[in-house]
């Protein structure tokens, strides 16, 4: 059914408004990702410093025998989005949690889940997983430290002050991949991987000065372990927000292209309808002129 020029004009105005909103959302996604990318880069440098401290401890005291106590609690921290317009971002992470072999319900019947973001909570609930607590994601890069501190405190409380001995903690989040892609990551946080300790112990100490410390080795190791946990949680949170904004930016770019295509179609229809109206008006003028001339000849 052909539409009138007025209806097409109204449709064009609506699409133009939608495109303006989409363009604004795309711009905000690109701008918001920058401070979180810087935060992720900064925490990587901080984490490397923590690992260097652990290497220095191992260089001075020798290999540390990790305790072999059976963990009493199992915790999963899932990082997601609190807002929409980012496609299947949360569903992809939730599916990775469900299909991860180390997180099967049969192996972890008492698994406690901490969820970051209301959208992720909905995605997990849709798969039959009920989080124990839903945390608010940071509203700015400055809030990442607040969230990381909150999660570390909760892990410390669950682990009864000795998280390394009593706790198995896993992080699930979306991280950046090669060529601008994204992929979900499910990584073990606690207990500390023996391979990491062994690799640091075997790494040569490149310095003319030997590391020393005034505290006991156990106190230094506990402080480094807590800093390692904080840096790992901080990085996971920053990566989650960076990839969320990247996913939203990609969806807004797709939406912008779709709106541009529809605008082009509507404008083409408007030109066609307007041309038809002009042709009709010209024909009416010509027919009226011919009728007037015929009347004058008859007179």
Which of 78, 52, 94 is closest to 211 using CA atoms? 52
Cα 76 versus chain centre, distance? 17
Average confidence score pLDDT of the chain = 80
Name the CA radius of gyration of the chain, rounded.
Answer: 31
pLDDT given for residue 79 in this prediction: 92
pLDDT at 273: 79
**Distance (Å) of CA 239 to CA 31, 124, 152, 158, 172:** 15, 20, 17, 25, 11
Using CB atoms within 10 Å of the CB of residue 122, give its burial: 0 to 12 exposed, 13 to 18 middle, 19+ buried. middle
Q: What is the pLDDT of residue 28?
A: 78
CATH domain 26-204+214-252 topology: Pyruvate Kinase; Chain: A, domain 1 (3.40.1380)
In the prediction, which pLDDT does 106 show? 41
What's the farthest any 2 CA atoms get from each other in the chain?
123
SS (H, E, C) the chain: CCCCHHHHHHHHHHHHHHHHHHHHHHHHHHHHHHHHHHHHHHHHHHHHHHHHHHHHHHHHHCCCCCCCCCCCEEEEEEECCCCCCCCCHHHHHHHHHHHCHHHCCCCCCCCEEEEECHHHHHHHHHCCCCCCEEECCCCCCCHHHHHHHHHHHHHHHHCCCCHHHHEEEEEEEEEECHHHCEEEEEEEEECCCHHHHHHHHHCCCCCCCCCCCCCCHHHHHHHHHHHHHHHHHHHHHHHHHHHHHHHHHHHHHHHHHHHHHHHHHHHHHHHHHHHHHHHHHHHHHHHHHHHHHHHHHHC
pLDDT tens sequence across 212-258: 777 777 788 888 888 888 999 999 999 888 888 888 888 788 888 88
Strands in 178-258 per DSSP E: 182-190
76-87 pLDDT, tens digit per residue, is 899 988 877 777
Strand, coil or helix: 75: strand
Quick one: pLDDT at residue 105? Answer: 45
**pTM over the 0.75 mark:** yes
Spatial CA neighbour of 239 closest among 135, 119, 147: 147
What averages of pLDDT result for each successive group of 10 residues across the chain (299 residues)?
72 80 79 81 86 80 62 82 79 85 55 88 87 86 88 83 68 82 85 76 76 76 86 90 84 82 83 81 79 72
pLDDT at 234: 92
């Amino acid at each position: 059914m052909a539409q009138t020029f007025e209806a097409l004009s109204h449709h064009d105005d609506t699409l133009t408004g939608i495109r303006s909103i989409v363009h604004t959302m795309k711009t905000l996604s690109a701008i918001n990702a920058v401070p979180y990318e810087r935060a992720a880069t900064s925490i990587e440098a901080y984490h490397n410093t923590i690992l260097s401290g652990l290497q220095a401890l191992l260089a001075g005291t020798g290999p540390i025998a990790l305790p072999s106590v059976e963990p009493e609690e199992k915790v999963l921290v899932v990082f997601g989005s609190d807002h929409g317009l980012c496609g299947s971002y949360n569903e992809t992470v939730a599916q990775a949690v469900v299909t991860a072999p180390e997180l099967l319900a049969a192996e972890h019947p008492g698994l406690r889940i901490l969820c970051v973001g209301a959208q992720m909570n909905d995605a997990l609930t849709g798969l039959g997983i009920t989080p124990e607590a839903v945390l608010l994601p940071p509203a700015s890069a400055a809030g990442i430290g607040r969230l990381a501190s909150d999660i570390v405190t909760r892990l410390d409380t669950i682990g009864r002050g000795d998280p390394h001995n009593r706790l198995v903690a896993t992080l699930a989040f979306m991280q950046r991949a090669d060529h601008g892609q994204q992929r979900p990551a499910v990584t073990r946080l606690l207990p500390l991987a023996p391979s990491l300790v062994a690799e640091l112990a075997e790494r040569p100490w490149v310095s003319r000065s030997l590391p020393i410390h005034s505290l006991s080795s156990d106190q230094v190791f506990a402080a480094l372990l807590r800093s390692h946990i904080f840096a790992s949680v901080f990085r996971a949170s920053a990566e989650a927000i960076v990839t969320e904004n990247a996913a939203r930016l990609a969806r807004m770019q797709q939406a912008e292209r779709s709106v541009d295509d529809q605008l082009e179609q509507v404008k083409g229809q408007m030109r066609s309808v307007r041309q038809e109206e002009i042709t009709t008006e010209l024909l009416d003028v010509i027919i009226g002129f011919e009728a007037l001339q015929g009347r004058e000849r008859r007179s």
